[in-house]
């Protein structure tokens, strides 16, 4: 077996469907079967597959140049995309550092945060606050700020956890309790904390938990008061997933650094971006070379990635994707909230995301094969069954995905 598959016990690997073509919201398998993709390839392919406007700009860019390094050189696709990202992200975010994946972009922000303080001679501010149930990627520093899920199990003995904060439940009492705890944490430890890293409004891989903007508004004020940087990871929530262009648009402030990935290129190529406030950028300006940020992924600002990202954003704006997302949201509400089953613990819907939390992982045993049999590709994470369709998915297609889920719930009743 030459391919080593992700998140998979290879000893138990069964036959995987071989994709030979993908079109719209459908995957075509080698055996002739055509299935609907309910999760748009790890949430990245927001336009669906084989999307002609993106194909076209990529072909043109390939004939011009596919890649040049960003060290000592620059190019129009990089400059154009950076300008565009500054324009569409919340006010105050002005400088773009490119990376080749979400995890690497997270590493970049954490390095930036530590150096932001060390450039000011504050070498003790090196720790991070993260949220319970967060997920920020699979590299080492990203694992340290992600939840202790089975993803990190094998490394538990070497990971350093700094500070983990819980998001509040919906009650007023819990809200003030969590804020007070946060306040105490900062009061006692601000001198050793570089930054807080979190997924705003919606935590994705860690269980699709939704929380109130007011909590983050408060957290932000306290971070300002105690000199702690804010890093918002929108690798999953960016580009419309929560119903606004960025989840940060629900808040009354911008973070010091914002991270984008996944849907950035419309799912065509792996790429990510860190967008920072001028306050962060300026701490690296100096006559001393060692104050510069010494990091540079080989394929950062790859011209193909930048070109396709620009076009993806242009289509998003021109075709009013936020409206499409609204109608997906409406359909999800209409069809999912009525589900009643003692096997279902909760149903959460925001933007173009629906999550059905089962009472345990057991209730989903065999579900993937069941769904495939009914022509749907879907892959729960632990006990969380979720739908994150492409924004161009047809109503009929989304309904048939939901009906397969209903059939399953009826079956295990």
Ligand X SMILES: *Cc1c(COP(=O)(O)O)cnc(C)c1O
Residues in contact with ligand X by CB under 6 A are 101-103, 106, 135-137, 199, 204-205, 233, 235-236, 261-262
Q: For ligand X, give the closer residue by CB, 103 or 119.
A: 103
C-beta of 186: minimal distance to ligand X in Å? 24
Closest-approach residue to ligand X (CB): 102
- Least distance between ligand X and beta carbon 241 (Å): 10
- Catalytic pick among 127, 141, 262, 324: 262
Q: How far is the CB of 99 from ligand X (least distance, A)?
A: 9
We find the least distance from the C-beta atom of residue 101 to ligand X, in angstroms, to be 4
Examine the residue annotation and report whether 252 is marked as an active-site residue of this protein: no
49 in catalytic set: no
Single out the catalytic residue among 100, 147, 233, 256: 233
Q: CB nearer to ligand X: give 254 or 274.
A: 274
Nearer to ligand X, 119 or 302 (CB): 302
Comparing CB distances to ligand X, the nearer of 210 and 372 is 210
Please, what is the minimum distance in Å from the beta carbon of residue 199 to ligand X?
A: 5
233 an active-site residue? yes
Task: Name the catalytic one among 7, 12, 91, 287.
Answer: 7
- 7 catalytic per annotation: yes
Catalytic residue among 49, 116, 135, 391: 135
Nearer to ligand X, 166 or 406 (CB): 166
**Bridging pattern class, strands 353-358 and 344-350:** antiparallel
The residues annotated as belonging to the active site are 7, 135, 233, 262
């Amino acid at each position: 077996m030459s391919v080593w598959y992700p998140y998979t016990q290879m000893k138990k690997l069964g036959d995987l469907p071989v994709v030979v073509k993908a079109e719209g919201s459908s995957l075509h398998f080698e055996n002739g079967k055509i299935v609907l993709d309910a999760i748009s390839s790890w949430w990245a392919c927001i336009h669906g597959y084989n999307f002609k406007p993106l194909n076209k700009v990529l072909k043109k860019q390939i004939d011009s140049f596919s890649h040049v390094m960003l060290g000592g050189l620059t190019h129009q696709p990089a400059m154009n995309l950076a300008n565009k990202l500054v324009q569409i992200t919340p006010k105050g975010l002005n400088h773009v550092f490119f990376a080749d994946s979400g995890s690497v972009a997270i590493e970049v922000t954490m390095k930036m945060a530590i150096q932001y303080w060390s450039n000011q001679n504050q070498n003790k501010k090196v720790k991070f606050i993260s949220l319970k149930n967060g997920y920020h990627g699979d590299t080492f520093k990203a694992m340290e700020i992600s939840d202790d899920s089975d993803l990190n199990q094998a490394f538990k003995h070497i990971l350093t956890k700094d500070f983990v904060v819980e998001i509040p439940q919906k009650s007023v009492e819990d809200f003030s309790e969590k804020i007070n705890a946060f306040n105490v944490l900062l009061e006692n430890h601000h001198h050793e904390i570089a930054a807080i890293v979190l997924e705003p409004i919606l935590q994705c891989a860690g269980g699709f938990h939704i929380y109130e903007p007011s909590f983050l508004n408060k957290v932000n004020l306290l971070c300002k008061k105690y000199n702690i940087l804010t890093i918002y990871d929108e690798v999953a929530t960016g580009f419309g997933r929560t119903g606004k262009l960025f989840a940060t648009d629900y808040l009354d402030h911008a973070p010091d650094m914002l991270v984008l990935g996944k849907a950035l290129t419309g799912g065509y190529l792996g790429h990510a971006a860190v967008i920072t406030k001028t306050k962060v950028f300026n701490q690296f300006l100096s006559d001393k070379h060692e104050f510069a940020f010494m990091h540079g992924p080989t394929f950062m600002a790859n011209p193909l990635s930048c070109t396709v990202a620009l076009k993806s954003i242009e289509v998003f704006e021109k075709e009013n994707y936020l409206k499409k997302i609204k109608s997906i949201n409406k359909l999800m509400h209409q069809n999912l909230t009525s589900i009643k089953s003692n096997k279902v613990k909760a149903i959460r819907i925001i933007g173009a995301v629906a999550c059905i939390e089962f009472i345990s992982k057991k209730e989903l045993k065999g579900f993937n094969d069941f769904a495939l049999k009914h022509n749907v590709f879907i892959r729960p994470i632990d006990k969380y069954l979720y739908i994150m369709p492409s924004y161009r998915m047809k109503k009929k297609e989304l309904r048939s995905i939901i009906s397969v889920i209903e059939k399953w719930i009826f079956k295990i009743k």
